[in-house]
Amino acid sequence: MSQFDPVTARLILALARAGSIARAAQQENIAPSAVSRRLAELEARTGTVLFDRSAQGVRLTDAGNVYVEASRAMLRQIAELELRLSEFAKGKAGTLRLACTSSALSGRLPELLADYATAHPGVRLGIREMSGAEALAALSDADVDLAVVTDNHDFAGFETQPFQEDAVWIIASPEHPLAPRLARKKPLPFAEVIGHEIVGFHHSGALDRLLREAADRAGRVIGERVNVESMAALVRMVEAGFGIGFVRSTSLHLLAGTDLLGVALDEDWARRMMMIAMRRNAPISAAASAFLDLARI
């Protein structure tokens, strides 16, 4: 290769994660034709096919895997070089690039960012909301400085810092058969609630995966009457009587103004923690370091 193009490399990484030109273009806020053109130009320049195309999407070839792994390493080196050089720049305000889950944005993170912005008015904030897996991938690719995700992920290659408790709660309407138990305000074991119909939430998400793994261990199947894509919608459907629901403690503020009842699940696996992740053995910017100091619990 005569030259390494970071812009094209980032698009290829996004395409590898998304498995679809349309999804990659949406994530990167560019036209699908631009992604296709960059890919075609790169393949022509290198004389290799990086993706197998099909009606279902795209999949990396062996050559594509080599390119993606090398690109990740080079992009990390570029990010670290820029960081080291920025230390020599006088008066540079800096940027904090943060990837976080919707759960993180439902908890203490917005108020913490407001405090941070007040204390560091010259720092530009770049906040990206995405799934935990996507956030860690963005962190690994050096697209962001820090990621705030739940603790049920593989943190190999990362360092972590506890950020906020994020336990799993069960909620139900006052008319639900479980209401008397919830009214006692004592944690309930999962085995006592799994037999009831639930309002499902965000299939393939971290909370959904956590619940299904627990049901599998118990040899039970979760019965869903409806499935929704947001915590606010889940609360409304539980309120309407469609079943019980499971929410994280960071989302309990959504119960304000309702008559829903809720208690924590009495299970070790339900006592979760939100974590801040950073790349292992990588330099960290002054802006990110200041945020880590403010976020300590």
- Mean pLDDT by runs of 10 across the 297 residues of the chain is 80 92 89 92 91 91 93 87 65 80 89 94 91 91 93 91 94 95 94 90 76 87 82 92 92 92 94 94 87 93
pLDDT at 116: 94
All domains in the chain, ordered by first residue: 6-84 (1.10.10.10), 93-165+273-295 (3.40.190.10), 168-270 (3.40.190.10)
pLDDT at 173: 96
Evaluate whether 73 touches 122 at the Cβ level (below 8 Å).
Answer: no
127, 128, 131, 134 alpha-carbon torsion, rounded to 10°:
-120
Evaluate whether 78 touches 4 at the Cβ level (below 8 Å).
Answer: no
pLDDT at 79: 84
- Alpha carbon of residue 64 to chain centroid: 25
pLDDT at 195: 87
Alpha-carbon span 38 to 33, nearest angstrom? 9
Q: What is the pTM of this model?
A: 0.68
Alpha-carbon span 255 to 260, nearest angstrom? 7
The CA-based angle 258-129-139, given to 5 degrees, is: 140
pLDDT at 91: 41
Alpha-carbon span 111 to 274, nearest angstrom? 16
Q: For residue 280, give every residue at least 6 positions away whose Cβ sits within 8 Å of its Cβ, in sequence order, or none.
A: 157, 158, 159
pLDDT at 4: 82
Q: How far is CA 80 from CA 32, 45, 111, in A?
A: 30, 27, 29
Alpha-carbon span 239 to 176, nearest angstrom? 10
Coil vs helix vs strand at 252 = helix
Q: Report the amino acid identity of residue 16.
A: A
Return phi, psi of residue 2, to 5°. -75, -30
pLDDT at 93: 66
Give the dihedral sign, CA 135/136/140/142. positive
